[in-house]
Amino acid sequence: MSYKRWLFIAVFLFVIGLVLGSVTKTSIAALFAEDVAALEELAEQLSPLPQSSIFAFVFIKNVSALLISFALSPIFCLAPVIALIFNGGLLGLVSALVIEEESLGYLLAGLLPHGIFELPAFIMGEAAALSFGMAVILALFKKERRKLLLPNLGQNLRYLAVALVLLLPAAIIETYITPLFLG
């Protein structure tokens, strides 16, 4: 399957999570309540740190999340599927809550500057994880697919590398510019 199809599948899974998170925010809120509380607590703990430390934390967290998902993808592609739906759901929930409490403009000011880089990077990385994970699974069951495994790994590592590079400007913008927009 081509990488474009994996991108489509990754976007589809992310949008499913996004819709579920934003439409069913009351029932989903209970599921994500601990996660949102943990994010708020983390933000409070990071706020006294120098911005360079916050940048390093954000960048390393995002990079490690993609790398872990890629590494675990051969296990039935569960890690990328869960990551896409979960992150979409969390974004949908938080977006719905922010729009209710603040405004759409506030949400866009907080999301768009770094989201322009971070969301495509996330989806590209998870699409590469899905592609690689499925290639490994197929290679386990079909002998003729084993010779395609190494080229698939190489191709998906290139896509993953592009995604990881995109996380750098995303972390810079999230740390230094987004707070200026949110005032």
pTM higher than 0.85: yes
Considering just the CA atoms, what is the radius of gyration of the chain in Å?
18
* Residue from 151, 22, 128, 29 nearest 79 by CA: 128
Q: Is 24 helix (H, G, I), strand (E, B) or coil?
A: coil
For the chain, first and last CA: distance in Å?
45
Q: Mind listing the pLDDT tens digit for each residue in 58-84? A: 999 999 999 999 999 999 999 999 999
For CA atoms 7, 13, 17, 20, the dihedral sign is positive
Confidence of residue 97 (pLDDT cuts 50, 70, 90): confident
| pLDDT value of residue 39 | 66
Give DSSP secondary structure letters for 114-161: HHHHHHHHHHHHHHHHHHHHHHHHHHHH-GGGGGGHHHHHHHHHHHHH
